[in-house]
Structure 1
């Protein structure tokens, strides 16, 4: 095989090598992002709660600066407009786990605006509010918890279907529109673990630990890149050696 015969295998190897190195580099960038995120969440959640942003500050809320910020808010729950978001609680802090729902309830403010509060988890068989009537708190309340921005869509979580009252992601704007709320905050509050009457909803279930296998993935991609280089070198050596043997064979016959 001459140099021209190596052209296509070389180009193919270079393309695949570029993809593998690019994937490894992307995972390293994700590793840096995840490490910074974990550090930010750990530091932010240890701060003292502050009042939740009022409506005039809603346009300035920023995910990088405000996500997981401990806040407090006061008002009255509108239990008639609660929304149940399907989830599977696998690592609970309380006694209930498994398939169930996050109970999202509007906390009505004095000015008529609403803040959606994730009051916590209820198992599937407690979906109906009448099965947890003690937890449907009436009158003025003050909620303490973590400020959360809308959940971003991804391949693993279905879209919400308001027309079927089927919810899978926290989207304050979408929920507020479906529940007829005139002004709803662009964030939700994950209530802390303060027990509710009757034990449900089970608050304080915000996940604060995140899987971080990006280094493992990066090393896998880089390892495949090194393997590809080794295979390519062996391929070229074998082909060139075979060509040399083909050239030497007529000489030996002479």
Structure 2
């Protein structure tokens, strides 16, 4: 076999192929996560919290809800967890508790102050950190704004002891705050961040379809690349 690659086409092919494979893999991963979430797989047990806020500013993690920009307001706390069996687990490690969602493209101090008055009641779930992708903006730690929520990073940023064991906790229902005619309005909603299945309206089959589309485009690109080299006599198998 002889193969003489076309330089410019090959250089353009490599990053384009990498992007298509990345997008396909991402959608495939989302498909698996949503399938598991629909079956209740991966959901942690719930806890009742008995906590005390630490002397630290709230931390804002960017998210979306119903297609709109929101900031999740997390307060660092310490205290005890009561699990589903009624056992208490106490720790000095920081517990970042979600107090509410504030609408807006940037965190509003007025809405954050209102969210900070939320009483910690009900059941909470221990949730994992967010994941950074190639499209995720850079965090702005000097303004306590994060586009990828990582509990350890937030605790280290605040200089808290026990930072290496920091954890996030989300309530099963949550309050969303917004401004309407300069008045604060709020509503209680099922918390979309306790399960990846609730983060958007796309069913698992749609993610599977997107994954197959991206992988299909990658295979098509490879096919065109091979066919063009064969037509130009740059790829021969004899």
Give the TM interval when normalised to the shorter protein.
0.5 to 0.7
Does 1:12 pair with 2:5? yes
**Contact 2:151 2:168 (C-alpha < 8 Å) held by counterparts:** yes
TM-score computed with the length of structure 1 as normaliser: 0.58
User: 2:137 aligned to 143, 153, 158, which one?
Assistant: 158
Match of 1:204?
Answer: 191
User: 2:114 aligned to 126, 133, 137, which one?
Assistant: 133
Deviations 1:167-213 (A, max 9, x none): 32212122223334323543312222255897368661325357732
Q: Unaligned stretches of 5+ in structure 1?
A: 46-65, 238-254
What CA distance in whole angstroms lies between the structure 2 residues aligned with 1:158 and 1:173? 19
What CA distance in whole angstroms lies between the structure 1 residues aligned with 2:223 and 2:111? 61
Match of 1:105?
Answer: 75
Q: Unaligned stretches of 5+ in structure 2?
A: 81-89, 178-184
Output the aligned Cα RMSD. 4.2
For residues 195 and 34 of structure 1, do their structure 2 counterparts lie closer, same or farther at Cα, with a shift above 3 Å needed? closer
For residues 46-65 of structure 1, the aligned pairs below 5 Å read none
Match of 2:39?
Answer: 43
Does 1:120 pair with 2:117? no
Deviations 1:76-102 (A, max 9, x none): 35285352425252526xxxx43x421
What CA distance in whole angstroms lies between the structure 1 residues aligned with 2:52 and 2:110? 13
Match of 1:81?
Answer: 56
Structure with more of its chain in helix, by fraction:
1
Structure with more of its chain in strand, by fraction:
2
Structure 1: which 4+ aligned runs deviate by more than 4 Å?
22-32, 129-132, 194-198, 200-203
For residues 75 and 199 of structure 1, do their structure 2 counterparts lie closer, same or farther at Cα, with a shift above 3 Å needed? farther
**Contact 1:83 1:105 (C-alpha < 8 Å) held by counterparts:** yes
What CA distance in whole angstroms lies between the structure 1 residues aligned with 2:24 and 2:121? 42
TM-score computed with the length of structure 2 as normaliser: 0.61
**Contact 1:120 1:200 (C-alpha < 8 Å) held by counterparts:** no
What CA distance in whole angstroms lies between the structure 2 residues aligned with 1:131 and 1:118? 11
